[in-house]
Amino acid sequence: MPTISTENTDQLTHIITVNIAKEDYEKSLNDELKKIRAKAHLKGFRKGQVPMSYIKKMYGKSILAEELNRMAYNEVMKYLIDAEVETLGQPIPAEGQIAPELDLKTYQDYSFQFEIGLQPKVEVQGADKTTSLTLYDIEIEEELVEESIDRFRKENGVREPQDKVTAENDILFVVLTELEDGEPKEGGLSEKTAMISLEDISNEKLKKKILTLKKEDTFDTDIHDLIKEDQKDHVHKYLLGVDEDVQFNDTFRAQILSITNITPAELSAELLVQAIGMEKAEKHVGEFLPKEEEVEKVEVASEDSEDAIPEVVELDLEDDNSKEEEEKKHVVTDAERKAAKKGFKAEVAEMMREDFTKNAKARLLRDFRESVVEKNEVTLPTGYLKRWMEMNAEGNPVSDEEYKLTIEGLKWNILRDAIAKEAGVYVSYEEVEAEFKDRYFEMSGMSPDDPKADEQFGNFMQSMQGQGNFSMGNMHANRIQKDLEDKLEDIITIDKKSMTSKAYGEMLEEEYKEEQKKLETEKKEEEAVVDSSAE
């Protein structure tokens, strides 16, 4: 069988040499060649009688290469598992290694070298009660709940096109053109189609003017007045659809393409069901939901009975149809409207509370990550990682930014796993795979005892590789992260602080702006370094 030897090139990089003797691969190679010969067709020879020399000449080297690669890689992986070596990435061919000449005339011994990167051992600092971080308990404001309900009613309301602007709940589609000195700017932004909600316009003078306009009319305005007050920093994205670094004047001309009036959907039991589902809605508006009607049982006469032929009667179809339509029409009472409103407010507030709580916990974990990474120095085998990334990129260049993000991610993964193990919440990759395997067989309906079960699951796992958040590596990381988040209160000191949803949103917005400024400054500094190097 193949033999393994290792060489420590430094503390975090090893070279593993796999020695494969001809006896290790000779039988399996010959077996594969015989399988091909049995199926091969060649003019002048019966099926299965093609000379072996021809089979070796045509297919031998590719089959030998495949067999040697498979054996070598499997031996490396077996060694790493048996020796419980914690690695980063996967084994890659050692740098400078020359592919061996394959000889099918006389079988030879071969050696292959693989480079592996090792996970550094770390003693994490700052993952204890000396670290104090804030967890925000968000108070949901009634105003925010009301806005959400109104938005849902409008989304499900009646839309009617019209020729004139008549009400504040009108929606306008306009074409925007950048102006300079009152005229379209040469080379400026133009033909930018945008949707404007009249309710979003806080400039009362502008709103009053628009309420006098009709289709095809134009008006000049500051572009920032056409968007909500708290979204004025997002004019690039929401109105003009251009990159953030695009420069433009504030004044634009808007031509009205279409006007749509929206009548919000009426608050009712049916609308509440549409919003939150029957199960949740029933406890609020169950008495107003339609009941299942009793279906009268009608005895069917046998074919032999004299009663089998019905009596012919005249039907007034028009009257019956109108009566049926009348019965279908449902009038919403004040009681139903009040119950639906109460149900909307309770359920929407709860959904918002869950979303804000989830966001606050994720923010706490982010703050914890930044704190831990800042307090701990993690040394990585950077040379190996660079080569590993380049090989995975399949010939595509790896940017400095991609490399930087990968290194930062790996550092946190190492620290996170060490903290999770110390806290007793670490889950091994094998445990996650076993749990997922059980779920796979349950969903697929396939029995684990089926002879083809492991092969089918293996094929499924292969297809999952590289599927973003659905890959096993990410599922493993997410499981650890979730367990760590749940345990965080036992690990560090958490200062719980109440804050309104509005104040919390404003805080996140300010943090986002600061982060964008920081990134912009870093980008300018990098560009300055590049420019100075070029000089």
Contact call for residues 398 and 386 (beta carbons, < 8 A): yes
Contact call for residues 531 and 382 (beta carbons, < 8 A): no
| Pairing of β 170-180 and β 183-184 | antiparallel
Query: What whole-number distance in Å separates Cα of residue 19 and Cα of residue 72?
Result: 8
- Residue 313's pLDDT is 42
pTM above the 0.95 mark?
A: no
The per-residue pLDDT for range 212-245, each reduced to its tens digit, is: 999 999 999 999 999 887 776 778 888 898 988 8
* Helix/strand/coil for 195: strand
| Residue 85 pLDDT > 80 | yes
The upper half-sphere exposure of residue 525, i.e. CA atoms within 13 Å in the direction of its Cβ, equals 6
- Residue 466's pLDDT is 46
- In sequence order, the β-bridge partners of residue 16 are 6, 114
From the candidate CATH numbers 3.10.50.30, 2.70.150.10, 1.10.287.1770, 3.30.70.2190, the one assigned to the domain spanning 158-263: 3.10.50.30
Query: What whole-number distance in Å separates Cα of residue 221 and Cα of residue 498?
Result: 40
Question: Per CATH, which fold does 3-118 belong to?
Answer: Alpha-Beta Plaits (3.30.70)
| Residue 417 pLDDT > 50 | yes
Q: Which residues of 21-47 are buried (b: 16+ CB within 10 A; e: fewer)?
A: eeebbeeebeebbeebbeebeeeeeee
Tokens standing for 40?
Answer: 């091969």
Cα–Cα distances in angstroms (integers) from residue 469 to residues 401, 473, 480, 481, in the given order: 21, 8, 14, 13
Tokens standing for 477?
Answer: 């990381």
| Residue 201 pLDDT > 50 | yes
- Residue 266's pLDDT is 94
Alpha helices in 303-399 (DSSP H): 317-328, 334-375, 382-392
Query: What whole-number distance in Å separates Cα of residue 428 and Cα of residue 473?
Result: 11
Determine the angle formed by the axes of helices 334-375 and 472-491, rounding to 10 degrees: 90
Cα–Cα distances in angstroms (integers) from residue 513 to residues 80, 224, 269, 403, 499, in the given order: 46, 18, 42, 25, 20
The C-alpha angle 396, 401, 407, rounded to 5 degrees, equals: 100
Which carries the bigger pLDDT value, residue 228 or residue 395?
228
Q: What are the residue ranges spanned by the domains of the chain? A: 3-118, 158-263
* Strands annotated E in 94-237: 110-118, 132-139, 158-162, 170-180, 183-184, 192-197, 218-222
Share of the chain above pLDDT 70, in %: 89
Which carries the bigger pLDDT value, residue 394 or residue 501?
501
Query: What whole-number distance in Å separates Cα of residue 6 and Cα of residue 430?
Result: 25
Q: How far is CA 61 from the centre of its chain?
A: 43
- Residue 2's pLDDT is 84
- Residue 329's pLDDT is 63
- In sequence order, the β-bridge partners of residue 172 are 196, 259
- Residue 138's pLDDT is 94
Burial label for 298, CB within 10 Å (0-12, 13-18, 19+), is: exposed
- Residue 463's pLDDT is 62
- Do 3-118 and 158-263 agree at the fold level? no
Least confident interval from 182-186, 295-299, 495-499: 295-299
Least confident interval from 39-48, 296-305, 472-481: 296-305
| Residue 296 pLDDT > 50 | no
| Pairing of β 192-197 and β 170-180 | antiparallel
Alpha helices in 254-333 (DSSP H): 269-276, 278-285, 317-328
Determine the angle formed by the axes of helices 61-82 and 22-39, rounding to 10 degrees: 130
- In sequence order, the β-bridge partners of residue 178 are 252
Mean pLDDT of the chain: 84
- Residue 366's pLDDT is 92
Which carries the bigger pLDDT value, residue 293 or residue 352?
352
- Residue 374's pLDDT is 93
Looking up tokens 């929407």 gives: 348
Q: What is the mean pLDDT of residues 266-295?
A: 86
The confidence band for 273, taking pLDDT boundaries of 50, 70 and 90, is very high
The confidence band for 169, taking pLDDT boundaries of 50, 70 and 90, is confident
